[in-house]
Amino acid sequence: MVGTLLQTFIEDCPGRFAALEAAIQRGDSKAIESAAHAFKSGSGTIRATVLAERLGSVESAAHADRLESIAELFEQIRSEHIAVLRELAAATRRAGS
């Protein structure tokens, strides 16, 4: 079950990231909040806590319509989501060995 959960996250992550990025580019607070929330939920489920925390910060900022603080947070999310995917890929390779 854990393997399936992780594989689902790996497959969904790029789309969730892209949805958040598009919402940020449009400056759409409600879409940012929604995309961040969905991405945060998946991240929390697999215990990617740093990523989930950053997404929670973006979700809160969008909810409060404080879009000026989101650009820096988004760059942190970009870095962290790459790190999480790399770690999951390495773990998948180790499990397959």
Q: pLDDT tens for residues 12-24? A: 999 999 999 999 9
- pLDDT in the model for residue 1: 64
pTM listed for this prediction: 0.91
- Intervals of the chain under pLDDT 50: none
Q: Which CATH superfamily is domain 2-96 in?
A: HPT domain (1.20.120.160)
Parse the chain into domains and list their residue ranges. 2-96
Radius of gyration of the chain (CA): 14
